Amino acid sequence: MKRKALSKKRKVVSTVASGIVAVLIAATMVAVNILVVDPQNSRMADNFVGRGDYIDNKGVKTADFDLDYYKQDYEGDALVAEQDRIDAEIVEQGTILLKNESNLLPLQAGTSVSLFSANSVPQSGGLMLPGMVPPTDLKTALSNAGFSVNDALWTFYAEGDGSECGLAEGSIGYGDDEDFAINECSLDRVLAGKGVKESLEGTLPIYVFDRVAGEGRDMPRSMYNHAESAEDKVRSYVEPDSTELEILSYLNDNFDNVILLVKANAAIELDWVDQFPNIRSVVVSQRTREQVASVLSGAVNPSGRTVDTYAADAANSPAAQNFGSYQYVDSAGELTKYNYVTYAEGIYVGYRYYETRYEDFVLGQGNAGDFDYASEVVYPFGYGISYTSFDWTDYDVNWEGKKATAHVTVTNTGDVPGRDVVGIYMQSPYTDYDVANRIEKSAVSLIGMGKTPELAPGESTTVSIEIDESQLKSYDSLNTGTYILEPGDYYLTAGINAHEAVNNILAVKGKTVADGMTSNGDAALVSLYNPKISEIDATTYAVDPVTGTSIKNLFDDARGDGEFLSRSDWMGTWPVPDGEPDERHISEWGNEINGTNADGTPASFTRVKKISDEDLAKLDSFDSLNPTDPSSITDTPVYGQKNGLTLIELRGLDFDDPKWDQLLDQLTPEDYQDIITWSGYGTPFLDSVNKPFGLDADTASGLIYGGTGRMYPSPMMLAQTWNDELAYDYGKLIGNESLVGGANGWYAPAMNIHRTPFSGRNGEYYSEDAWLSGVVGSKSALGASEKGMYTFIKHFAINEQENHRGDRAGQFGLATWSNEQAIREIYLMPFEMSIKAGDVKVDYVAQGEDGTLSQANTTVRASQAVMTAFNRLGFTWTGGHYPLITELLRDEWGFNGFIITDNANTGVFMDAYQMIESGADAKLTALRESARYEFDKDNPAEYKYGRDAMHRVLYTMAHSNAMNGAMPGSVFVEAFKTTDMIRLGVNIGGSLILLLLVGFTVRRFWPNKAVQTQEVSA
């Protein structure tokens, strides 16, 4: 058959179409290759889609052994049911009822409600990954709970004119920029919405108050850069702006009953609620879905408690006096590249300040001034009410040696079932010795807690809480340089919150409301303990109870040159900002209003102070503070030995077993380079010792990959449950999910302190209290580790500020200054509690000297991994700080696990040699060019420190769930990656299509001989 000649027009159209298709295919090929070839993208993509690596067991007799060292507790529907249970219980037990006048809540079925605020509807954005549960919006949740939801108002915010309103995203690009605009719809705009005003009649308003922050930026102390009006510019982000107040005023004036639903992951200011008496109920819940609707309906009785003090003015705390954007200037007065923060409040963070100054005011001591607790604190630490009431009786503390158990009987005296929380608080004597040596003592400190099961009306239970004398010790940094126990009476009280705990103790001291107390305490809930010593004991707690290592000052260099707040003289030692406003530089990081512009209007400037050339050089250096001279190290490097060992063969062996040296001798210089500099989101496969790839997953609210993709309520909300058993169950569930998705490590739990409500990552951290943070974090880590995960407890340490933390361009690590008592008693305590959380069982197949194999087990510490921080402790980066990492973490606490940096892809100051010289192990980098380090295989010091790092990483991996299914003789096989298959498929397929398109185009314009012949004949 002769082909017909195409018209010139059709040829052109076909060719253009082919060209467009070719361009699209070529662009797809380029995009896929860029995304997949880029090491960071390819590693993350492989983590999400699965790596395909496997274990070859053809050469071993697996039938004789149980190689499922870590077993799932739940599979299929049972796993989903457990996920749903944990999710629901965190919300139900973590939702806090702060106010409920006239018993407005729970609402009657069928109540018609109007949801006010743009923050009541889901905000656009957010990545949905496989396994993630699509969130139920608040309207649907309330409707399902039996309420009628005002559709006109909801439609206005969700789809109408109000959809343009709502909070800006806060931190942008992990801190590259910020946008904290509140952007609430004005009252006029709301009421002008289609059918809105008429729809409000006969409804009960629920105002949803929310705030956001995020990694890399803290909440603004002033809205100078984000608000439009002059009155709003001077407000902070944690208080309502004029638009929000206008709406709240309208609701108060036009409705008899209003509910305030607070979503923020921060102890926002709520003193303004008193301006609106018709706001009768206040509920805090960071997850506004089905369970919150159940709380409002009464199907669930909330039992959450505050984990922070809700201050009337967050800017008035001693910690807030030094928080934000502070920058060093050089001798010429020019800005340097370094920022700093001074923890001048010492130990007086959160309730430790408010409750201690309150007690001193009542007792008439410490130059407490005219301190008015009621005007300073809206809701104390540990506060939360219920739909029922409880009575506590039969309190006692039984001591056996240095350990004790506190008991209290809790009875539900109300009409509905509910759960209660018991806190045990202690007060140690504040002596002349303390005053002379600047040892600070909080009026109360939380040292124990217990949560009741759900109690029916009239039902009682006895809550038993174990405590230890070691919890009564104090750190003496200026004299003995260690922990001490002082003679005298120690008060132990059961408190429904921190404030009532102080009142109980004051009652024992004979004080009443006549002495300035906010309410009379209950002396029956106080027990006295006396260690029966006649002088200060600087011996018993001067050694670590696990390692026997002497405890001594390690952080004198981080004390700085400032003074710290003391309860011996509140007024005289009150912190002032450690820097002066620099009127040349408007703060781009949300500083407080601290000056005026040229036109006299209030302004927010960067605060600065001068740094000496000598100290500036310390910031510029990569000194780890390791006292060993590198030139004195004479280790002979050994690489590539053929000892025939594989990593699985060392599972179950002690850390100092001689076989580890044989295994380490097999490593190559390339292995050192890869592990030390390229361990972000997973540690590389090592052929020399047959180490599998170790998959390390983010985030603190669930495994975003390497699990099922299920995300849970924030860690702050988990802490609000005050339920250590639930924290353990959550960690155990994460461990179960890792067995489904293949994660070995978890970049969590995160346990930095809520130093102020302004911290951008308070939602990821637990509390202002160190002990509560330690309990929730350690229990979560323990649960996950029982399923073979190594949990990177983070961010180690003293990392309570996002601004200038150090991971974005132009940032070089925030220099953090504090004293040793505060560092140890507040900021390190959660980490120490996690490191010492206990041991977990490790099953393995042991290989005898004669080659015989047998099933065996041993134990390792539950916490096997730590993530360091971006900030500096003093002048020195925490990830390369020898006293912090080697002297404290490794020597004093006995930690021999895996230490990784925080994200080092952009942290140019995070030096790999400084890191390993300090005793840490690997950089969290997924980009090879981010290594900024080439391992020198011939340098004895680099070899020694690198070998130590490799030992710790391999030991951690060997005792993790990465070994599930393997035994001596098994071979881990690194498969052809899914991303490589995608890239190869796209390249081959795309190339074939391009060739076909070229062929068709050539053929289209190739002369048709048959047609030409016919034309000539004609």
3-state secondary structure 706-761: CCCCCCCCCHHHHHHCCCHHHHHHHHHHHHHHHHHHCCCEECCCECCCCCCCCCCC
- Classify 1010 as helix, strand or coil: helix
The secondary element (H helix, E strand) that includes residue 396 is strand 390-400
User: What is the pLDDT at residue 124?
Assistant: 56
Residue-level pLDDT at 13: 73
Token reading at 817: 């200054």
CA atoms of 909 and 668, how far apart (whole Å): 27
Integer-rounded Cα Rg, in Å, for the chain is: 31
688 contacts: CB under 8 Å, gap ≥ 6: 640, 666, 667, 668, 671
Alpha carbons 276 and 606: distance in angstroms, whole number: 36
Half-sphere exposure of 789 (CA within 13 A, CB side): 37
Quick one: tokens of 329? 């200037």
Query: What number of CA atoms fall less than 13 Å from residue 684's CA on the CB side?
Result: 24
Please report where in the chains the tokens 């052109």 appear, as a residue.
Answer: 12
Structure tokens at 437: 């040596």
pLDDT of residue 780: 98
Count the neighbouring beta carbons within 10 Å of the beta carbon of residue 327: 21
Residue 246: phi and psi, rounded to 5, are -65, -45
Q: How far is CA 849 from the centre of its chain?
A: 46
Question: How far is 620 from 337, CA to CA, in rounded Å?
Answer: 10
Instruction: Tell me the helix, strand and coil percentages in the chain, rounded to 5.
Output: 35, 20, 45
Biggest CA pair distance of the chain: 128
Q: Using the Cα atoms of residue 730, residue 732, residue 736 and residue 739 in order, give the sign of their dihedral.
A: positive
Res 225: pLDDT: 97
708 touches 741 (CB < 8 A): yes
Q: Whose structure tokens read 């030995």? A: 641
- Closest alpha carbon to 817 in 339, 137, 462: 339
Helix H or strand E encompassing 918: helix 912-918
Structure tokens at 452: 């009741």
Tell me the two tokens of residue 803: 């601004």
240, 279 contact by CB (below 8 A): no
Structure confidence at residue 1009 (pLDDT): 57
Q: Is the peptide bond before 319 cis (omega within 30 degrees of 0)?
A: no
Which tokens hold the place of 442? 């909080």
Structure confidence at residue 922 (pLDDT): 98
Residue pointed to by tokens 């809700």? 310
SS3 833: helix
The pLDDT of residue 365: 98
The predicted structure's pLDDT at residue 2: 45
CA distances from 349 to 340, 442, 487, 791 (A): 19, 10, 26, 27
Give 334-357 as a 3 state SS string: CEEEEEEEECCCCCCCCHHHHHHH
- Cβ count near 218 (within 10 Å): 31
Task: Give 704's Cβ-side CA count (13 Å radius).
Answer: 15
The amino acid occupying position 160 is: G
- What is the number of helices (H) and of strands (E) in the chain? 27, 39
The helix (H) or strand (E) run that includes residue 77 is helix 76-94
State how far Cα 639 lies from the chain centre: 39
pLDDT at 1018: 38
* Res 37: pLDDT: 55
- Alpha carbon distance 409, 935 (integer Å): 62
Residue owning tokens 């200026």 = 478
Cβ count near 330 (within 10 Å): 14
CA 796 distance to own-chain centroid: 11
922 Cβ contact partners less than 8 Å away, ≥ 6 residues apart: 675, 676, 677, 679, 683, 898, 899, 900, 901, 915, 949, 953
**C-alpha separations of 737 from 73, 81, 83 in Å:** 10, 13, 9
Report the SS3 class of residue 588.
coil
CA distances for 533 relative to 427, 484, 529, 544, 824, angstroms: 17, 12, 12, 21, 24
* pLDDT in the model for residue 992: 77
**Element at 901 (helix H, strand E):** strand 898-903
By residue count, the chain amounts to: 1018
DSSP per-residue letters across 243-300: HHHHHHHHHHHH-S-EEEEE--SS----GGGGG-TTEEEEEE-S--SHHHHHHHHTSS
Sequence-separated (6 or more) residues with CB below 8 Å from residue 937: 637, 639, 669, 672, 943
What tokens does 489 get? 């009476």
**3 state SS of 699:** coil
User: Between the CA of residue 280 and those of 142, 187, 238, 416, 950, what are the distances in Å?
Assistant: 19, 21, 21, 20, 60
Please enumerate, as own/partner, the contacts of 45-48 that have beta carbons within 8 Å and a separation of 24 or more.
45/978, 45/979, 46/977, 46/978, 46/979, 47/681, 47/682, 47/695, 47/697, 47/705, 47/706, 48/129, 48/705
Cα gap 299→701, rounded to integer Å: 26
Structural contact between residues 841 and 859, judged by C-beta atoms closer than 8 angstroms: yes
What distance in Å separates the CA atoms of residue 501 and residue 491, rounded to the nearest whole number? 10
Task: Determine the 3-state secondary structure of 624 from DSSP.
Answer: coil
Contact call for residues 125 and 215 (beta carbons, < 8 A): no
H, E, C per residue of 97-141: EEEEHHHCCCCCCCCEEEEECHHHCCCCCCCCCCCCCCCCCHHHH
Q: Give helix 724-741 / helix 770-785 axis angle, nearest 10°.
A: 40
pLDDT per residue as tens digits for the range 363-393: 999 999 999 999 999 999 999 999 999 999 9
CB 991 within 8 A of CB 26: no
CA dihedral in degrees (927, 932, 938, 943; nearest 10)? Answer: -70
Which residue in the block uniquely carries the two structure tokens 């973490």?
Answer: 889
Residue 782 and residue 529: Cα distance in Å, rounded? 31
| Residues with pLDDT less than 50, the chain | 1-3, 125-126, 1011, 1014-1018
If DSSP codes are grouped into helix, strand and coil, which group holds residue 768?
coil
Residues 6+ apart with CB under 8 A from 916: 676, 942, 945, 946, 948, 949
